[in-house]
Structure 1
Amino acid sequence: MANSGESEVSTSELAKILGKTARWINELTREGVLVQTGRGKYPLAESVQRYVEHLKKQYEEVGGIDYAFEKAAHERAKREKAEIELAAMRGQMHRGEDIAAVMNDMVGGFRAKMLGLPSKVAPQLVGKTETPVILAILTQEVHDSLSELSDYDPRTFLAASEDYVEVDDDEDSG
């Protein structure tokens, strides 16, 4: 109810003040956002305050900042970052630049062996005329070169990492 000194306005006047239509004012009245003091009469100050509160609620529902949600999202991101860092320290995950360094060394070594293959094998093939003998020599050298690529050792990646820390599994379970 309006105070005795508070001015009252009609539906059309309130609509004009709020920049809306009379139909819209009636809808907000049905929803309980606005309260009439009599048929088609509204307390001006209270109606404006109720309208502002209504807008605040709508803002929070559709796009306002929910600080509890934002805080939870921030904490979740911090936890995920800590889990990633811990996995890297334990050697369970490797940084891209560490993988690139190890793989570049590995492929570089393989490339060098393959490029050196002709000069290494040519002297062995001098005077050989039987295809099976030549084939066996070439096959053996290719296999030797390829074996370097198959010598995967996860510790090679750990040695390249600045983050890796040796963790005793017994300490971790306590």
Structure 2
Amino acid sequence: MTNVTIVDELVSSKIVAKVLGISSRRVQQLTEDGIFEKEKRGQYNIAKTVQAFVAYKTGESKLEKKAREGGYDAERTLLTRTKRLIEENKLKIMNGDLHRSNTVKAVMNRMLNNFKSKLQALPLKAAPKVLGETNLLVIQDTLLDEVNECLTELSEYDPNMFHDESDDIIVDDDEAGEGD
């Protein structure tokens, strides 16, 4: 048996697929997506390909890898991308498509407390209605109506509740179109 140095070994996509436990088609897809790089026609550097696959599976992008290795341009690009994501999220908040966790928490707490209060008041409200009733169906219908009335508290979702609770500036669709 001969010793093979695998570090700079060029192999076919079939071998890459077998080593990584994926299909040959998936190797092609990852190559098209820029995860893998072909060294020569249909040939891959096995060491680089395995490293790229591990980085891909762990979520580390090429930019993150370059930044980790000290590349100024890559670090700058990551910073720019992060700033862009922050601005996109601010825009989503302004459009009402994204809500801060403290706003969601406050609105949901208020809704659930209202629901809890209605449930706790249910016996006091329903008891007089069914007090002298002997017909089981009438009692069940009365209780069901009262329970459904309590449940409407949860079904009355209104996105404006989140806007009202938030300190963020919310831009309505009407306001956004005024500048056009």
For the aligned pair, the TM-score class normalised by the smaller chain equals 0.5 to 0.7
- What is the match of residue 176 of structure 2? 169
Q: What's the TM-score once normalised by structure 1's chain length?
A: 0.60
Distance (whole Å) between structure 2 residues aligned to residue 109 and residue 73 of structure 1: 45
8 Å CA contact retained: 1:89, 1:163? yes
Q: Which has the higher relative contact order, 1 or 2, with Cα contacts under 8 A spaced 6 or more apart?
A: 1
CA RMSD in angstroms comes to 1.9
After superposing on structure 2, the runs of 4+ consecutive aligned residues of structure 1 that deviate more than 3 Å are 61-64
Match of residue 144, structure 1, among 122, 143, 149: 149
Classify the secondary structure of the residue corresponding to 1:162: coil
Spell out the pairing of 1:2-151 with structure 2 (5 A cutoff). 64-151=69-156
**Number of residue pairs the alignment of both structures matches:** 113
- What is the match of residue 158 of structure 2? 153
Letter in 2 for 1:148: E
Letter in 2 for 1:134: I
Identify unmatched segments of 5+ residues in structure 1.
Answer: 1-60
Distance (whole Å) between structure 1 residues aligned to residue 137 and residue 160 of structure 2: 40
Identify unmatched segments of 5+ residues in structure 2.
Answer: 1-65
Classify the secondary structure of the residue corresponding to 1:128: coil
Per-residue deviation at 1:92?
A: 1.2
